[in-house]
Amino acid sequence: MDNFELYNPVKLIFGKGEISKISDNINKNLKVLLTYGGGSIMNNGIYKQVKNALKDYNVIEFGGIEANPQFNTLMKAVKLARKEKIDFILAVGGGSVIDGSKFLSVAIPFKGDEWSILTGKAKIELGIPLGTVLTLPATGSEMNSGAVISRKELNEKRAFVNPFCFPKFSILDPYVVASLPKRQIRNGVVDAFVHVLEQYITYPNNAPLQDRIAESILITLSEIGADVIKDPKDYNLASNLMWCATMALNGLISKGVPSDWGTHMIGHELTSLYGMDHGQSLAIIGPNLYLKLFDSKKEKLAQYGRRVWNLKGNNNAVAKEAIKYTQDFFSDMGMKTRISELTDNYNHAPQVVFDKFTKRNWLKLGEQGLITPQIAKEIVEMSI
Ligand code: NZQ
Ligand code: ZN
């Protein structure tokens, strides 16, 4: 096992009716910027619950943060927040609203070019405190310090991580799942599943506890995934999905073990090229990445096949079959498995990925540095 440090200061408040606890967790003297997305919270009662909890506060609102949050939209919120001198941000939404609000947290007090926060060149010294009410279990953003922001005119989707971006608190009421469109639940199950795979399908590292926690999340997701899509109003299913998604990316299972993240980095390019949903991009790239990097990942693939999918046989056969089971699981959940099922405009995609990885100097991604721009290009070719 590798050395590690574990730090996660997020106060998680989980369960029915807990949205009212917002007021126990934000000081009444603070001026609050309430951020949200395209309006789903107006239709499912979440906005009403949040406003009720905020009735004694001075609140400024900023709505309209889109899925795959856009830098230009967020910069409007930065201007508003600077003018209004806000002290606290309350993000109410899925990963996009939460990520967008994490960017606001560090961009509002930042002096300099705010895009440098995404390119990794900025020295971030301040962050406005942030709380969240999660409305879509998927990204784990509610309990981590990462965020992913897109910038259309540059065709970019970039991630950053900063300790100021850990929410002070996150409220997870599984009732929010009831109003989710099936497409978003599917995205959520696959995103959480692939988060675990990114931190697990690497190479053995003498970390049986991390492995077994990862496998527990994968088994639970494989057991409940289809059912929660069928019946999102089932509170028990919804609460188990929500807890799995948070546990999949709150930093715990990656401690002391290698991580890959190649599927995400390539998947982000499909989103910036085609506006493809994040979960959908992972369902397409993941299995092909495992096929391409089979030799370096086969021991963990075999372990995964045996323990998660109960497969039997020799290591090579089980590892291969495990990839097929993963792809079938995604497809049973209603995901497309090829780029060409979603767009006709795919010929240039492999070269775009090659050029972008090269330009960013991403020459050796993955746990063993095997994902060169050429390998990333070949994975996209296999995914067409
Ligand atoms: O905008 P509104 O109207 O709220 O509608 C949203 C949006 O259209 C809707 N929605 C959310 N909660 C709902 C609901 N509709 C009905 N009822 C509810 N309760 O769902 C749509 C998608 O929302 P979005 O926030 O975009 O989805 P998700 O949570 O999957 O977030 C995706 C974003 O997170 C990033 C992705 O790249 C993508 O930009 N990620 C963030 C990560 C992180 N911070 O750790 C890690 C992930 O790997 C991921 O990259
Ligand atoms: Zn993800």
* pLDDT tens sequence across 232-253: 999 999 999 999 999 999 999 9
Atom of ligand 1 nearest to the CA of 144: 45
This prediction has a pTM of 0.97
Average pLDDT in the chain:
97
Atom of ligand 1 nearest to the CA of 184: 20
Measure 17 CA to ligand 1 centroid, in angstroms.
21
Q: What is the DSSP string of 37-85?
A: -SSHHHHSSHHHHHHHHTTTSEEEEE--PPSS-BHHHHHHHHHHHHHHT
CA dihedral 318, 320, 324, 327 (to 10 degrees): 110
CA distances from 16 to 13, 39, 172, 236, 361 (A): 10, 22, 8, 11, 46
CA dihedral 268, 269, 273, 278 (to 10 degrees): -20
Give SS3 for 32: strand
Domains in the chain, start-ordered, CATH in brackets? 11-175 (3.40.50.1970), 181-383 (1.20.1090.10)
pLDDT digits (tens, 9 = 90+) for 34-45: 999 999 999 999
Report whether 217 contacts 247 (CB < 8 A): yes
Residue nearest to atom 31 of ligand 1 (CA): 95
Mean pLDDT of all residues in 75-85: 98
Measure 280 CA to ligand 1 centroid, in angstroms.
12
What's the pLDDT at 365?
A: 98
- Angle formed at CA 159 by CA 113 and CA 132, multiple of 5 degrees: 95
| Region label for 125, one of left (φ > 0), alpha (ψ between -120 and 50) or beta (otherwise) | alpha
Measure 166 CA to ligand 2 centroid, in angstroms.
17
Buried b (16+ CB within 10 A) or exposed e, 190-202: bbbbbbbbbbbbb
Give SS3 for 86: coil
What's the pLDDT at 355?
A: 97
Residue nearest to atom 18 of ligand 1 (CA): 180
pLDDT digits (tens, 9 = 90+) for 266-287: 999 999 999 999 999 999 999 9
What's the pLDDT at 285?
A: 98
What's the pLDDT at 151?
A: 96
pLDDT digits (tens, 9 = 90+) for 89-134: 999 999 999 999 999 999 999 999 999 999 999 999 999 999 999 9
| Tokens encoding 32 | 């609050």
Measure 143 CA to ligand 2 centroid, in angstroms.
13
Atom of ligand 1 nearest to the CA of 149: 39
